[in-house]
Every structure is written in structure tokens, then in C-alpha cells.
Amino acid sequence: MKISVYITSYNKIQYINEAINSVLDQSRSADEIIIVDDGSKDGSREIISGYASRYPGKIKVIFNEKNLGISKTRNIAISNCTGEIITFVDADDYFFPMKIETELELLRKTQYDCIYSNLIFVDEFSNENGCFADKEDHPVEGDLFIENFTRSFHVNSGSNFHNEMFYKSCAQEIGLYDEKIKIWEDWDFRIRMSKKYQYGYCPDVNSAYRKLENGLHNSVLGLHYREQMKVYKKNKHLLSDLEESEKRVIQNSIYAKLKKLIINIGRLNISKKQYLRLIINCFQFIWVFQSKKTLGFFYKELFNNDA
């Protein structure tokens, strides 16, 4: 089967070489590499063009005229992949040499539709600072809808997986990435993917995910809150066929995560005397989760402890 790997890039000149080389150096070669640059201004386009010139039958490059955002860029990449199977890496991350081979073998010999692997976390200098799953962990397989919705995969790190391998037809069937979502687009994608398709786990460390101070995961609190709330509200209807106990697991998990964010945002609103914004945020949260008791919690956290 034909394997496509796509790479998304935006102003990652210091890392793009490592990302591309890690895909080129696979024990099982990718049949094609699609690189989509989202309007970089740091000179990384010249590096990408150089690779395309050296590997004309292997690497296809798409340069967005302007910055379109990660969701649109991912969709452009997937739409240009001609392989039946897709995996991906962002320009500041990289694969280990057996990534494609081990995941493809598992995908072929099982009934799973998506494969995710163990990975390490690295800093800007490629120093390792943790991993997704420890040896004693048993990451979940099969129906991962609840786990993807709650972002809890039975690992001590409490982290998300990245760089999964999947059938292109599955991604197309669920409608690809939602281009209205600015960040957390991968969470939304995996929620919808796991509602219909099964996931397998490969215990090999197959990629490195770089945590950067200026990365999207460090965006302002308000953006994180809005986009996570957007994902939850959008996909809440997918809970309708679950048992009540399963619904509560998801709702309580999202409630707890977003409550921490809204409290921090509320304190920021108070410090800036943005009281109308504070009221709007609090009542929106209460309305979404239908929890009137949260009003008392907000008052206690934001005002009684304000001193």
C-alpha cells in the first residue's frame, strides 16, 4: 500500500531539516512526502525548496500565499496525499527510523484503522524531558472515543499522543479538520475519528514531540478556553448513544479542565477590571454545563480568595 507523509511548517527554519531528514531516513520509505508551508517568512521556504529539488519524485511542496492556520494547512496536505495510508509530522518534531515500518505492520495485521505510538518529549535543543507512556503503562486500544474526548489514555504522563497513522479514507469520511478551529484542531479530529474508527497502540518510541515556549500550546488562556469550549459544544451530540455513566465521565472531565481555565481567566478579568467580560464568561460556562452550583464556586474562588 502507498504511504504518504505530510509535514506542516510555519517559521521553523531551525528544525525543518531534522523533520524532513527523519522522514527520508525511514527503514520503510514513504512513497511520497507532502510539505505544506503556511506562509513562512524566516527563510525556511528556501530550505524546503532545496529538498524538493533534490528529491523531485519524492517530495511535493505547497507554499500557502498567506498564513491560513493549522487546520486549513492540514487539510491542504491531506488532500494532496495520494497514498491510502497517511502519517504526519510537524516541522519542529521528528520521526525515529522505524516509525513507518512498525506502525504499518500493526495496521496491516489488525483490524485497527489508526495506529498511535509511544513518543518522547524534547525541548528546543532536543533534550529529552519525558515520554508519553512508561514501561508500566498500558495505553488503551480499540474504541477510544471516551479516551479521546477526555484526553486520558491510561498513561502516567497524562499527555496526548501525536503523529498517528491512519487510512486517508477514514479522515475523508469524518470531514478532515475543522477549519473554524484555530487550536485544538487535533482534539476535535480525534474525537470524530474515534467515534467511527478503532485505534491500535505501538509501544515503540517512534517520534519526538517538541515543546516550545512560543508553541500553540502556550497561547493565551482566553484562546485555549474558547477553542476547547468550541470543540466540546460541537461534539457534545456524539454522546447521545452512550450510557449515562459514560456521559458523566466525559462531561465531568471537560468540566474540570475548563473550570480551571475559566477561574484563571476570571482572575485576569478582575485584575483588568473587565467585569462585563467576567460575567459573560461565567454565565456561558454555567449555561453550557447546566450547573447552577458553579456560580457559588466562582464567587468563592474569584472574590473570597481575591485578597
Share of the chain above pLDDT 70, in %: 97
Indicate if 131 and 254 belong to the same structural domain. no
Indicate if 123 and 255 belong to the same structural domain. no
Q: Tell me, what's the pLDDT at 305?
A: 56
Indicate if 128 and 266 belong to the same structural domain. no
Domain that holds residue 113: 3-215
Question: Last residue of some domain: 155, 188, 215?
Answer: 215
**Chain center to CA of 4:** 19
The pairing of strands 128-131 and 59-63 is unpaired
With beta carbons less than 8 A apart as the criterion, state whether 114 and 138 touch.
Answer: no
- Give residues with Cβ within 8 angstroms of 85, minimum separation 6: 1, 2, 3, 4, 104, 107, 165, 166, 167, 168
Average pLDDT, stretch 90-109?
Answer: 97
Indicate if 175 and 91 belong to the same structural domain. yes
**307 pLDDT more than 50:** no
Indicate if 259 and 159 belong to the same structural domain. no
Q: Of 61, 53, 3, which is closest to residue 29 (Cα–Cα)?
A: 3
Q: Global pTM?
A: 0.93
Indicate if 295 and 276 belong to the same structural domain. yes
Q: Does residue 174 or residue 297 have the better pLDDT? A: 174
Question: Last residue of some domain: 167, 189, 215?
Answer: 215
Q: Does residue 296 or residue 203 have the better pLDDT? A: 203
Give the Cα separation of 219 and 108 in Å (integer): 38
133-185, pLDDT tens digit by residue? 999 999 999 999 999 999 999 999 999 999 999 999 999 999 999 999 999 99
Neighbours of 258 (CB within 10 A): 19
Question: Last residue of some domain: 191, 215, 239?
Answer: 215
Indicate if 151 and 266 belong to the same structural domain. no
Indicate if 75 and 135 belong to the same structural domain. yes
The domain total for the chain is 2
With beta carbons less than 8 A apart as the criterion, state whether 7 and 33 touch.
Answer: yes
Indicate if 246 and 297 belong to the same structural domain. yes
Amino acid letter, residue 10: Y
Indicate if 151 and 268 belong to the same structural domain. no
